[in-house]
Amino acid sequence: WWVGFSSPPPPPKLYKSTNGARLRSRRPEKTKSEGKKIVCEFQQLHQFLKDQERLLLTQLADLDRAITRLQEEAVAKVSEEMSHLDTLIWEMEGKFQQPAGQFLQVRARRAKTLWGEGEETSPVSILLHQMLWFSFSPAADVTLDPSTAHPNLLLSQDGREAKGQLRQQDLPANPERFDFEPCVLGCEGFTSGRHFWEVEVGPGGVWALGVARASVKRKGALSFTPKEGVWGLEAYHSLTSPRANLRLNPLPRRIRVSLDYEGGRVAFFSPDDDVPILVYSRFILPNPPVSLSFPQGFSF
């Protein structure tokens, strides 16, 4: 018999492998790339949101301005309607104070002037039109005060006409005289009642007329607004802030200025058709107002 020994198993074969190391080395690069991509996308999203925010804020500001403009236009329209209603009430009050016969009286000559001959007019239509035009008392006798006239204004000897000129006159620098604005005041002042006067304006140039407080500023620049105590009409514009264009066709060459002291109203009419041009209402006159003009040329 014999005894044998089995040979030991061969050792395992070893193979060189670099796949795991290669995967481990690529993983940080991919992570960095994804991180940069995410940061870039967030930056783009942030910029998009900022642009949208800026756009929406701009649109909101435009909308706010549009709403403000519409509100201002609505307020101006309401103020205009209120002034018109005040004028109608004022005129109707004056009519109701007249005797009944005179209130209802209709003159054929006036009807022909308003509507023309041959046109059918009803008493109601004529009565309504009469309510819209104010029957004034005799006109106030207004003359200009030379002691208040600016040196560039040349007054007539009777004090009823003024014209602008480039050359200044050598006049005393008295406290009553306007030294900056080309203005002149009337001699007469009013402390009560209703008054009116008519002014003929020149065909061109710059002119203005109306009433002002007796304490109106004489030295230096003057803001011609009701806040400064001036209620006027300047070349068919209102002396308000903001100014309003008055669409008149044709442009009247004579302007009727009326003052209701107790009622706190100053109105401007075209004497040709008695249509109100401009009405200031609801103001208080603590001092006697006087006629005010700063024309290139006008006469009473």
**DSSP alpha helix (H) spans, the chain:** 19-96, 100-104, 108-115, 123-132
pLDDT of residue 99: 52
Here the CATH number for the domain that contains residue 209 is 2.60.120.920
Residues 102 and 171 in one domain: no
Relative to beta strand 161-164, strand 297-299 is: antiparallel
Q: Which residues pair with 245 in a beta bridge?
A: 237
Quick check: is 27 in a domain? no
Closest CA to 292 of 221, 188, 191, 192: 188
Residues 291 and 155 in one domain: yes
Residue 268: which H helix or E strand, with range?
strand 265-270
Q: In the structure encoding, which two tokens stand for residue 155, read together?
A: 């007054």
Residues 69 and 212 in one domain: no
Distance, in Å, from the CA atom of 269 to the CA atom of 196, rounded to the nearest integer, reads 10
Quick check: is 50 in a domain? yes
Residues 199 and 286 in one domain: yes
Quick check: is 17 in a domain? no
Quick check: is 25 in a domain? no
Quick check: is 128 in a domain? yes
Distance, in Å, from the CA atom of 291 to the CA atom of 288, rounded to the nearest integer, reads 10
Per-residue pLDDT of the chain (300 residues; tens, 9 = 90+): 444 445 555 655 555 555 555 555 556 677 777 788 888 888 888 888 888 888 888 888 888 888 888 888 888 777 777 777 776 676 666 555 555 444 444 333 333 333 333 344 443 343 344 334 445 466 778 888 999 899 988 888 888 888 888 888 888 888 889 988 888 998 888 888 888 888 888 776 678 888 888 888 889 888 888 888 888 887 766 666 566 666 666 677 888 888 888 878 888 887 776 667 788 876 665 556 656 655 544 444
Residues 60 and 155 in one domain: no
Residues 66 and 106 in one domain: no
Quick check: is 5 in a domain? no
Distance, in Å, from the CA atom of 149 to the CA atom of 36, rounded to the nearest integer, reads 82
- Are 104 and 127 in contact by the 8 Å Cβ rule? The answer is yes
Closest CA to 269 of 287, 286, 246, 239: 246
Query: Under DSSP, is residue 260 helix (H, G, I), strand (E, B) or coil?
Result: strand
Q: In the structure encoding, which two tokens stand for residue 266, read together?
A: 């100053």
Distance, in Å, from the CA atom of 14 to the CA atom of 18, rounded to the nearest integer, reads 13
Task: Using alpha carbons, list the distances in angstroms from residue 20 to 14, 25, 26.
Answer: 16, 9, 10
Residues 143 and 197 in one domain: yes
How many separate domains does the chain show?
3
Quick check: is 12 in a domain? no
Residues 105 and 200 in one domain: no
Residues 78 and 163 in one domain: no
Q: CA torsion, points 166, 170, 175, 178, in degrees to nearest 10?
A: -10
pLDDT of residue 201: 82
Parent domain of 111: 98-135
Residues 160 and 255 in one domain: yes
Task: Using alpha carbons, list the distances in angstroms from residue 17 to 22, 29, 202.
Answer: 10, 21, 111
Quick check: is 172 in a domain? yes
Residues 204 and 117 in one domain: no
CA angle 15, 20, 24 (to 5 degrees): 155
The residue assigned the tokens 């819209």 is 132
Residues 143 and 291 in one domain: yes
CA angle 121, 125, 130 (to 5 degrees): 115
pLDDT of residue 52: 85
